[in-house]
Chains A and B, each alone.
Chain A
């Protein structure tokens, strides 16, 4: 029951927050709850066995037996760290938004906790319909977070964000239904259980585009590509980020984007192996282009937050490149990069939020010479910058190195193109850093009416775990990689016919689904 507990505990907390009698209790309570759910998720370390690629801690209940839809949760090396990343970021976000969100804090925290449930659910759901429910559910709280607590153009950004992601996922719903019917035709019973669906051989014809597997592949890919977001369907992201409040940005960049890349890894590639193999070059290309494109456009942004948003496009391009390299280095690197991006981009958004709270401006040109006024802030920002541009000994390097190595091995041309991103990454981050922190004091910095004070204790405490993680993951990646290794090896070795079993499962989910279906028929 651990997974259900992890997934639904935040929802419970959201309800508690909703009925908490005093407004002033909300923040401390929310922070406490966030810590509790993080602590609960740490129990995973105790029960998770990193040595096996099998799905662990599985939970199964029939939900709509006639359609083969079930409540099936499970965790393996692919989702392990993503779950922990999600639970880890919540206390950071709650503490980080202590002063950033000043109206309707009750509703805000409820939304944040509800979002947590949706995100965690989509990382552990192994039933496509259940996944879809969580995947879509996550839009709702985020919709409100941006729409209510956002900036000037929040309504526009919210609509854009919602519609973009909706278009993709509705098509995916069609794909899911198609898959379920295919299961009925080939397996003899309807099911949305991914472990069962892996066994399907959706018809594939290499030469032509219009065949079921390719179409399904692209339908699913579109949904996840929008979420990632991959070039060229990325334009919702900068708007959403710029308008979102700091905690919204952190969660959006830190966790929600990973739902897209996770989807590729969990569903797209294993379900449609031939199409994935055949069209891998498209994604390698788009990944590499995304890296370079995101970096180039980030370089010329006048707004700090938009710059970070575009840097996300670039960083997520690395992840896609690694995933579609489909070798151990690429996939490991991609998973690692997802975590890195969660940590370092989350930290960047928090830092930008801190300075925004002080000056109410994110315009790079109006800063300058900040290093002299806010030295600790500068050091923190610099460390995160290093992580973002993947300097060795920070977490970013391990991920980028593995991805580029894998990408190069898979396709020399696109791999080499992606390496350009290494240079451009340094350019846009350091250029921003130079303009904001170095040189003479800019108008906002020397404003005598609003002297800038350095980071306070709370802000420092928020950043410390992130900074520690940056170095920890950079210096000692093995303890982290240990948990993904078995799953990745299994994934790479069996990418043509991917199967997952459930470890020490009390029930054979496949048989159970079939039995439930048979039962249903008898009644009729």
Chain B
């Protein structure tokens, strides 16, 4: 179906950011942020338009199910075919629009944000390079191409986190991100190998057509289950799930728009996207699905609790991101791939919005990130406040904003799906309560109450249009984005009975779990009511705590004591990783070097050498230089030889006698 025009559009879509990267990369010494930003934003915008043009083809009667474009054969060896070919189907269409759309907005935002930086060209070059890699990841028609993008975005993330590399901490954060991601990538590789060994192909469509009709695997060691688990390890790395989530909070060392783009809206959702992409495979591995659901739920709760105690505005958002990603994996784990995709999209809107909002705040507060030193910013930065407010409602899940629909769908499936259970629902429910609390706390400490900074020295101010326009657009999307997936129970009572558009859109592209769903419409209403009221309740509590009675907070903190210390220090996970894994490896390596290389292998060769030397020095005493001694040896040799000869003759004679004689 791929017409040459599709290839042309795909080429524009993918190459525009690459050209942007090259254009900015080649003039890396320039400090003209406006030009650099314009090039980069234009590149991203071009991509978005091209993506839109391609996606439009999927609409209408008789539209193709997917638009593909083949370029060239990248690797082709004995059955391993890796063509450079791209596909936009109903899944990647959603993703590509989010990535290029939100990406363009963030590029635009960056122009204002990075206006004071020393090396804006480099920044925008990296940002474009990221977009290019992200597009490879999304659009690649096979796992290898996805992996190329997968590693590529990790690389850009590394570069952008460590953008201010003169700061040791930031450079370290970049490295931590890359290495943690690499652990995931190793899992991804293994998953890929497992699939190739099992199915003989790495193309998505081929794998999916080959698994179609297979029975679900039981047990843990089947090839599909193992492949699914390995791929999930990859997803935990990229999408910051337990146990590999630790890099994401540190990744906040990068510029804030980067956090919005890479560490909230796009890259970190790649794991979810990959699982949704391969949902027909994952659905065949119920045990792997169970693991995914449990890890997702656990991450959602754990990260949310840590979020309750943090004071760095970006760290709060970072843990919130980890937690929300947990929801997406929970959805994947219970087989609600559509809900996962839905939440991915809405989350991209409101989390990008909130990160950009926080960027605006940090920018306005002159690089201050500690929310204890903020407060009352609503009156200084009204537009930022207003948009952030929208994001806040969206994330805590109050109807009718985006987050409500997507999160509720996940919670409902966690309860009702054949793979779901009341416990998974409960975890999601607790997470939702925490989310509402810490987000309200963030709102309260940042925008409400009295200013806690020196108003004479610091003059918070609203930024220029390049930063506010993206905020407004994202705020609108956060407000209305949820309408693409209105649940049936709500649709029925609304005028015109709108259906669940998203569900319809993804139908046939994602797997649906087999088995009986439990729960009824009444149940759905009840659960919905419960989650909305708990969100509202905990938001009100937080408001009361942080705006009305700040003293309560201290009291609670003191009452909690050790629990608070534990949570505030992020459960000491980093410390445990260092003490139990990283340090032993480093020390062990030093020991390997010192003992195996130097003291064992080298010593062994020295011993062998000494042995030869010893024999040699013993032998050399024979050569005394005393001529007469040599002569003696010669004489003795002759005598010995003669003796031997005669003896031999004698015995030979005897033998002959025996043989022939009488």
The answer to whether any beta carbons of A and B sit under 8 Å apart in the complex is yes
Residues of A within 8 A of B (CB): 160, 163-164, 232-235, 238, 293, 296-297, 299-301, 327-329, 332, 369, 371-372, 375, 386, 391-393, 397-398, 401-402, 404-405, 408-409, 415-416, 419-420, 422-423, 426-427, 430-431, 434, 437-440, 476-478, 481, 485, 488-489, 492
By the criterion CB–CB under 8 Å, are B193 and A415 in contact? yes
CA distance A279 to B111 in the complex (A): 61
By the criterion CB–CB under 8 Å, are A371 and B193 in contact? no
Q: A235-B605, A422-B182, A439-B171 are in contact. Are A489 and B597 (CB under 8 A)?
A: no
By the criterion CB–CB under 8 Å, are B147 and A402 in contact? no
Q: Which of the residues A327, A416, A476 comes within 8 Å of B190, measured between beta carbons?
A: A416
Q: Which of the residues B166, B179, B186, B605 comes within 8 Å of A440, measured between beta carbons?
A: B166
Set of chain B residues within 8 Å of A437, measured between Cβ atoms: 165
CA distance A327 to B171 in the complex (A): 41
Set of chain B residues within 8 Å of A422, measured between Cβ atoms: 182, 185-186, 189
By the criterion CB–CB under 8 Å, are B183 and A423 in contact? yes
Q: A402-B77, A485-B77 are in contact. Are A438 and B592 (CB under 8 A)?
A: no
CA distance A426 to B181 in the complex (A): 10
Other A-B pairs beyond A297-B593, A422-B189, A440-B168, 15, CB < 8 Å:
A160-B605, A233-B601, A238-B597, A391-B152, A392-B151, A392-B152, A393-B148, A397-B151, A402-B75, A419-B189, A431-B175, A434-B162, A440-B166, A476-B74, A481-B77
CA distance A488 to B76 in the complex (A): 13
* Mask of B628-643 contacts with A, CB within 8 angstroms, 1/0: 0000000000000000
By the criterion CB–CB under 8 Å, are B147 and A392 in contact? yes
Q: List 22 A-B contacts (CB under 8 A).
A: A160-B605, A293-B592, A297-B589, A299-B586, A329-B78, A329-B80, A371-B165, A372-B166, A386-B155, A392-B148, A397-B148, A402-B75, A405-B192, A405-B193, A408-B197, A423-B183, A423-B185, A423-B186, A426-B178, A430-B178, A430-B179, A478-B74
By the criterion CB–CB under 8 Å, are A232 and B190 in contact? no
By the criterion CB–CB under 8 Å, are B605 and A164 in contact? yes
- In the complex, which residue of chain A has the Cβ closest to the Cβ of B226? A412
Set of chain A residues within 8 Å of B166, measured between Cβ atoms: 369, 371-372, 438-440
Q: Which of the residues B152, B167, B196 comes within 8 Å of A405, measured between beta carbons?
A: B196
By the criterion CB–CB under 8 Å, are B193 and A296 in contact? no
Set of chain A residues within 8 Å of B189, measured between Cβ atoms: 401, 404, 419, 422
- In the complex, which residue of chain A has the Cβ closest to the Cβ of B168? A439
CA distance A438 to B158 in the complex (A): 13
Chain A CB within 8 A of B11 CB: no
CB distance from B117 to the nearest CB of A (A): 14
Set of chain A residues within 8 Å of B602, measured between Cβ atoms: 235
- In the complex, which residue of chain A has the Cβ closest to the Cβ of B197? A409
CA distance A297 to B78 in the complex (A): 35
By the criterion CB–CB under 8 Å, are A401 and B165 in contact? no
By the criterion CB–CB under 8 Å, are A478 and B76 in contact? yes
CA distance A438 to B589 in the complex (A): 24
Within B575-603, which residues are at the interface with A (CB < 8 Å)? Answer: 585-586, 588-590, 592-593, 596-598, 601-602
Q: Number of B interface residues at 8 Å Cβ cutoff, please give it.
A: 53
Set of chain A residues within 8 Å of B597, measured between Cβ atoms: 235, 238, 297
By the criterion CB–CB under 8 Å, are A300 and B182 in contact? no
CA distance A332 to B82 in the complex (A): 15
- In the complex, which residue of chain B has the Cβ closest to the Cβ of A482? B76
Q: Which of the residues B77, B167, B194, B589 comes within 8 Å of A329, measured between beta carbons?
A: B77
Q: How many residue pairs bridge A and B at CB < 8 Å?
A: 133
CB distance from B84 to the nearest CB of A (A): 10
Set of chain B residues within 8 Å of A402, measured between Cβ atoms: 75, 77, 80
CB distance from B658 to the nearest CB of A (A): 35
CA distance A386 to B148 in the complex (A): 13
Chain A CB within 8 A of B567 CB: no
CA distance A328 to B80 in the complex (A): 10
CB distance from B25 to the nearest CB of A (A): 9
CB distance from B474 to the nearest CB of A (A): 31
CA distance A423 to B151 in the complex (A): 12
By the criterion CB–CB under 8 Å, are A328 and B77 in contact? yes
CB distance from A394 to the nearest CB of B (A): 10
- In the complex, which residue of chain A has the Cβ closest to the Cβ of B151? A392
Chain A CB within 8 A of B260 CB: no
By the criterion CB–CB under 8 Å, are A300 and B593 in contact? yes
By the criterion CB–CB under 8 Å, are A299 and B589 in contact? yes
By the criterion CB–CB under 8 Å, are A296 and B592 in contact? yes
By the criterion CB–CB under 8 Å, are B152 and A393 in contact? yes
Chain A CB within 8 A of B73 CB: yes
Chain A CB within 8 A of B97 CB: no
Set of chain A residues within 8 Å of B76, measured between Cβ atoms: 478, 481
Q: A391-B152, A423-B186, A426-B179 are in contact. Are A438 and B75 (CB under 8 A)?
A: no
CA distance A408 to B196 in the complex (A): 10
CA distance A401 to B150 in the complex (A): 14
With most chain B CB atoms within 10 A of its CB, the pick from A164, A296, A369 is A296
Set of chain A residues within 8 Å of B183, measured between Cβ atoms: 423
By the criterion CB–CB under 8 Å, are A408 and B193 in contact? yes
CB distance from B19 to the nearest CB of A (A): 15
Set of chain B residues within 8 Å of A419, measured between Cβ atoms: 186, 189-190
Q: Which of the residues B144, B155, B179, B190 comes within 8 Å of A391, measured between beta carbons?
A: B155
